Amino acid sequence: SAANYKSEYKLSTVLGDAFPWGQGGQRWADLIAEKTEGRINVKMYPGTSLVGGDQTKEFTALRQGMIDMAVGSTINWSPQVRELNLFALPFLMPDYKAIDALTQGEVGKDLFDILAQRDVVPLAWGENGFRQLSNSKREVRTPEDLKGLKVRVVGSPLFIDTMTALGANPVQMSWADAQPAMATGAVDGQENPLSIFIAAKLNTVSQNYLTLWDYVADPLIFVVNKRVWDSWSEEDRQAVREAAEQAAAEQIQLARQGIAGEDTAALQQISSQGVTVTQLSIEEKEAFQKATQEVFAKWSKTIGEDLVKKAQDSIANR
Amino acid sequence: MSEHDPVGRGGWEPERALAALILAAVCAISLVNVVVRYFTNYSFAATEEVSVALLVILALLGSVVPFVRRRHIAITVLRDRLPPLGRHLADAVAVLATLAMFSLVLWLGVRMAWDDYRFEVTSASLGLPQWIYTIALPVLAGLILLRVLVSVLWRRKP
Amino acid sequence: MTTAAIVLLGLFALLMLLGTPLGVALGLAGAAVILMQDLGEMAIPTSLYTGIAKYPLLAIPLFILAGTIFERAGVAARLVRFVSILIGSWRGSLGVVAVLVAMVMGGISGSGPADAAAVATVMLPAMTRAGYPPAFSASIIAAAGATAILIPPSVAFIIYSVLVPQATVPALFAAGLFPGILAGLALILPIVFIARRYGFGGRREDEEKIGVLRAAREAIWGLLAPVIILGGMRAGLFTPTEAAVAAVTYGLLVGLFIHRSLTLRDLGNVFMEAAEMSAVVLLIIGLASIFAWAGSTLGAFDVLAQSIVSLEAPPWMVLILINLLLMGAGMFLDAVSIYLILLPLLMPLVTAYQWDPVWFGVVMTMNLAVGQFTPPLAVNLMVTCAVAGVPIEKTVRWVIWLVLAMLSALVLVAIFPSIALWLPRSLGY
Ligand code: NA
Ligand code: NA
């Protein structure tokens, strides 16, 4: 009954509504209010502020009920759900169709089953995008070009292994320190989705070479805490699920706007600011793939070889 | 405030000595990281995780003696102007509040560490079991509780 | 929801006024509301942990340690001797020396009390010998030490940047330099005036005579330190956090091998003191994040900020109100606690009025610098009075003039934002 409903549900995201990520979260909240006729009232907390900004604590907090709902990243949740490292396997997904083949196919269902065993109810897949490489030193087209570059990475051990295998020096640094470090040359490069490159104006901190190498992608997951889900009426659960599916579909479109398919307006904007944008061909990507084979094999064991095999098959049949 | 020692000064209590060692370790890690990065073009990608975990230990461990010696920052203007009975009551409230705060941290901190253990959560950078970091919270909260209780029960007039 | 907000603020105020350690008052008020409203009790340990486990906060113990080391290494004493020779001796000259040395030390240390302690230990005896009342000396040094949180590096700016990510640490550091110098110079006027009026100080015959060159040579290691720290950051040798460890290393090298004034036993004491001072600050930061979590989840801060915006007062009036609020808070609380308690309330206003967050950080920090030596609760005065052996009450008649002097510097920065923003803009931050 409505008596058990909270007056407000807390929705956590990493980025705010200046980014497709935050827009997707806000859209979900708005659609829920609309579809449940105001019975469920959701407030978005960007910047993972509910866990003091520590993104890797988001999933635990969600499971424990500090957070009611989230649009979370597979990378941030991988310390709690090791299977989510799948999307960070280097050069697994060659294009957007490959991401869709995983998230909208059997692999996506398997991962949702795994999440469902951890007190959360996963509802839909969104997208933060392929992570692209930028640096201040030179154009990167081959693994050889990457040798000796100091690249700031997120802390995950898999990312560090990948960069080390490619001959780069991975530097782990908080984003607060990373920007001055890039400006002054303490680090040479970084890797992030293009939306972040654009919003953080990384060309102003000497990031003048951008390589579109699609080495890993970061899908987003729309989830609700299990106890919160169980407290809702069947009708409202259906409404929240539909709202998530609609918001996620719109969010993926937003995330690809200007950088994928026919529409490359955002890329043109970046190159008009004097950034050399390098698009790798399939053959060029294969050279990078080859250099990271051992990392791929090592982490496949952690993730589960059956799941990795299934993912490769889905991508082959996309 | 005037009746208590200023923050920082004091003897060689074990917690103070240990906190000093932790601080020295934080310095050493950061220094090695800078030196290695600039002179060898190599970087220890994960020192941040360890330093930050040490910072939590430093905060709690270094706070133990200030709790016992009442050197934490507090507003005592009003308390100092109360009659003796009022002053005792205010002090009792302060001690009870401290005990309540760290009992909560102890109890919920155990649950946090247990949860990290049970769900096999790994640390973000090094991939170590996360509970080895989070266990510091309940352990040190327990130490603060113990030291405050002992100092209250065995209080001698200074 | 309103009841919960009242419980949050009321319980905090009650505990604070009864003399409960500030961090405990904040944390317990937050925890009580989280439990009462069933907001998710795991927020209590999680906020405490994530509130402290932040990389930029690493700089706090390191900059505090750097200040302590520079004092024990004899750097401060040599700076005093050099500046004294440069200035000469006349009525009020030692007061001016104290201000200038505190400003140079402020370019090494990131904390007001640490700076005040360093200068007080070195200068108070000499000032007393020269005829300055200890309460006056303690006031001067406490006020001058407050420039340490404006002149980079600054622990206060690091915490501000953690809470306001759009204001980066390098931009804040650059923005604090000129306001910090202005605040220090503003103190000189009343010091000289008071010293002349009451006849403090004057020509001293007792001091040892050494040449200006020798004094300069001995002071050079101290004078170079701010240049190395700030220059190193600018040149990209280290990030703001690493600059702190560079300062510590430099101080250790000077103390152990150049001045040879640090012993192993000193080192133990130095590390223990710095560890304790940092722990006290960090624990407040951690426990205050429980308070902040409860407050922001309840929406308590938004509601308060909204009600101010809805008054539709002109921006300058809101700014004056904010400054009065900060000054009031600064009389009772230390800078770090004020950031943690008030920033969640103030940032929605900064956004609403489209103020530059870097400039606002400088204005706010100048206010808090004043608060560091405004009784009754004045962390710097507590330190200098402890060294001088005088009660805080005795400083009121002197310190009031220094408060007014630094406030006029604050008014200038509030009216002319470019005093703060010119440097970060021309450096490209
Ligand atoms: Na400073
Ligand atoms: Na004050």
User: Ligand 2 centroid vs C337 CA: distance in angstroms?
Assistant: 12
Give the DSSP letter of residue C91: B
Chain B: give the shortest CA distance to residue C171, in Å.
Answer: 22
Q: Omega of the bond prior to C376 within 30 degrees of 0, cis?
A: yes
Q: C85 or A190, which is more confident?
A: A190
Ligand sitting nearest the alpha carbon of C377: 2
Question: What are all long-range contacts of C5-11, with beta carbons under 8 Å and residues at least 24 apart?
Answer: C5/C295, C5/C298, C5/C300, C5/C303, C7/C32, C7/C33, C7/C36, C8/C32, C8/C33, C8/C291, C8/C294, C8/C295, C8/C298, C8/C300, C9/C300
Give B109's contacts in chain C (Cβ within 8 Å).
45
Find out whether A123 and A241 touch, Cβ atoms under 8 Å: yes
Average pLDDT over residues B26-53: 79
Work out whether the CA dihedral A112, A113, A119, A121 comes out positive or negative. positive
Assigned domain for C268 exists: yes
Give the DSSP letter of residue C54: -
Calpha distance C161→C157 (Å, rounded): 6
Chain C: give the shortest CA distance to residue A31, in Å.
Answer: 22
Q: C212 or A102, which is more confident?
A: A102
Cβ distance of B47 and A155 shorter than 8 Å: no
Find out whether C406 and C186 touch, Cβ atoms under 8 Å: yes
- pLDDT of B76 reads 79
- pLDDT of A59 reads 95
**pLDDT at residue B6 is higher than 60:** no
Confidence of residue C236 (pLDDT cuts 50, 70, 90): low
Cβ distance of B90 and C379 shorter than 8 Å: no
User: Ligand 2 centroid vs A278 CA: distance in angstroms?
Assistant: 56
Give B86's contacts in chain C (Cβ within 8 Å).
none
Calpha distance C332→C379 (Å, rounded): 10
- Using CB atoms within 10 Å of the CB of residue C426, give its burial: 0 to 12 exposed, 13 to 18 middle, 19+ buried: exposed
Q: A309 or C110, which is more confident?
A: A309
Ligand sitting nearest the alpha carbon of C110: 1
ipTM of the shown complex? 0.87
**Most A CBs within 10 Å, among B30, B48, B131, B134, to test the A interface:** B48
Cβ pairs A/B, distance under 8 A? 56
Structure tokens at C271: 């590390």
Find out whether A77 and A59 touch, Cβ atoms under 8 Å: yes
Residues with CB under 5 Å of ion ligand 1 are C 106, 110, 148, 151, 154
Find out whether B74 and C22 touch, Cβ atoms under 8 Å: yes
Residue B78 to residues B81, B90, C17, C369, Cα–Cα distance (Å)? 5, 10, 6, 23
Q: Which residue of A has its CA nearest to C55?
A: A174
Assigned domain for C46 exists: no
Residue type, A184: T
Cβ distance of A180 and C47 shorter than 8 Å: no
Cβ distance of B115 and A60 shorter than 8 Å: yes
Cβ pairs A/C, distance under 8 A? 82
- pLDDT of B40 reads 65
Number of domains in chain C: 1
- pLDDT of A177 reads 67
Q: C232 or A79, which is more confident?
A: A79
Find out whether B116 and A60 touch, Cβ atoms under 8 Å: yes
**pLDDT at residue B10 is higher than 70:** no
Average pLDDT over residues C87-97: 89
Confidence of residue B8 (pLDDT cuts 50, 70, 90): low
Could you identify the residue written with the tokens 């019975």?
Answer: A39
Residue A93: phi and psi, rounded to 5, are -105, 110
Could you identify the residue written with the tokens 């709202």?
Answer: A243
- pLDDT of C348 reads 83
**Most A CBs within 10 Å, among C297, C302, C427, to test the A interface:** C297
Assigned domain for C166 exists: yes
Domain hosting residue C219, numbered range: 56-285+301-426
Q: Which residue of C has its CA nearest to A200?
A: C166
Helices (DSSP H) in C212-263: which residue ranges?
212-234, 240-253
- pLDDT of A117 reads 93
Residue B110 touches partner A, C-beta closer than 8 Å: no
Residue A217: phi and psi, rounded to 5, are -120, 160
Cβ distance of B124 and A174 shorter than 8 Å: no
Assigned domain for C43 exists: no
Neighbours of C (≥3 Cβ pairs closer than 8 A)?
A, B
Q: B39 or B36, which is more confident?
A: B36
Among residues A10, A6, A8, which one has the least CA distance to residue A46? A10
Residue A173 touches partner C, C-beta closer than 8 Å: yes
Assigned domain for C11 exists: no
Least confident of A43-52, A233-242, B79-88, C240-249: C240-249
Calpha distance A43→B130 (Å, rounded): 30
- pLDDT of A181 reads 75
**Most A CBs within 10 Å, among B39, B41, B125, to test the A interface:** B125
- pLDDT of B3 reads 37
Ligand sitting nearest the alpha carbon of C395: 2
Residue type, C352: A
Cβ distance of C268 and B12 shorter than 8 Å: yes
Calpha distance C408→C179 (Å, rounded): 11
Cβ distance of A157 and B49 shorter than 8 Å: no
Question: A191-228: string of b/e by CB count within 10 Å (b at 16+)?
Answer: bbbbbbbbebebbebbbbbbbbbbbbbbbbbbbbbbeb
Residue A159: phi and psi, rounded to 5, are -65, -40
Find out whether A190 and A206 touch, Cβ atoms under 8 Å: no
- pLDDT of A264 reads 87
- pLDDT of B2 reads 32
Average pLDDT over residues C176-190: 96
Confidence of residue C323 (pLDDT cuts 50, 70, 90): confident
Helix (H) or strand (E) holding B119: none
Which percentage of chain C shows pLDDT scores above 90?
A: 36
Assigned domain for C27 exists: no
Residue C334 to residues B68, C119, C326, Cα–Cα distance (Å)? 21, 20, 11
- pLDDT of A2 reads 54
Confidence of residue C160 (pLDDT cuts 50, 70, 90): confident
Q: A146 or C165, which is more confident?
A: A146
- pLDDT of B43 reads 59
Average pLDDT over residues C165-190: 92
**Most C CBs within 10 Å, among A174, A190, A227, to test the C interface:** A174
Assigned domain for C20 exists: no
Calpha distance B46→C195 (Å, rounded): 55
Quick: pLDDT tens for C341-377.
778 778 888 988 899 999 999 999 999 999 889 887 6
- Considering chain C, what is the average pLDDT of its residues? 86
Average pLDDT over residues B86-92: 95
Cβ distance of C50 and A64 shorter than 8 Å: no
Assigned domain for C94 exists: yes
User: Ligand 2 centroid vs C32 CA: distance in angstroms?
Assistant: 28
Calpha distance C360→C64 (Å, rounded): 24
Calpha distance B58→B61 (Å, rounded): 5
Residue B31 to residues A287, C60, C84, C246, C256, Cα–Cα distance (Å)? 37, 15, 35, 7, 17
Give B112's contacts in chain C (Cβ within 8 Å).
42, 45-46, 49
Cβ distance of C275 and B105 shorter than 8 Å: no
Residue A176 touches partner C, C-beta closer than 8 Å: yes
User: Ligand 2 centroid vs C380 CA: distance in angstroms?
Assistant: 8
Helices (DSSP H) in chain B: which residue ranges?
14-40, 47-61, 64-68, 77-80, 84-118, 131-134, 136-153
Q: Which of C46, C287, C332 sits opposite B75 (nearest CB)?
A: C332
Q: Which of A52, A176, A180 sits opposite C51 (nearest CB)?
A: A52
Average pLDDT over residues C150-164: 84
Ligand sitting nearest the alpha carbon of C107: 1
Per run of 10 residues, the mean pLDDT along chain A (length 318 residues) is 80 88 96 96 89 88 95 93 96 95 97 95 96 96 93 85 91 71 82 87 88 95 97 97 98 92 87 93 94 97 96 95
Cβ distance of B98 and C46 shorter than 8 Å: no
Confidence of residue C287 (pLDDT cuts 50, 70, 90): very high
| pTM score above 0.80 | yes
Give C282's contacts in chain A (Cβ within 8 Å).
none
Chain C: give the shortest CA distance to residue A187, in Å.
Answer: 9
Residue B72 touches partner A, C-beta closer than 8 Å: no
Least confident of A47-56, C233-242, C392-401, C402-411: C233-242
- Considering chain B, what is the average pLDDT of its residues? 87
Among residues C260, C242, C275, C262, which one has the least CA distance to residue C114? C275
Calpha distance A183→C102 (Å, rounded): 31
Q: A82 or C336, which is more confident?
A: A82
**pLDDT at residue C204 is higher than 70:** no
- pLDDT of A1 reads 47
Strand partners of residue A212: A279
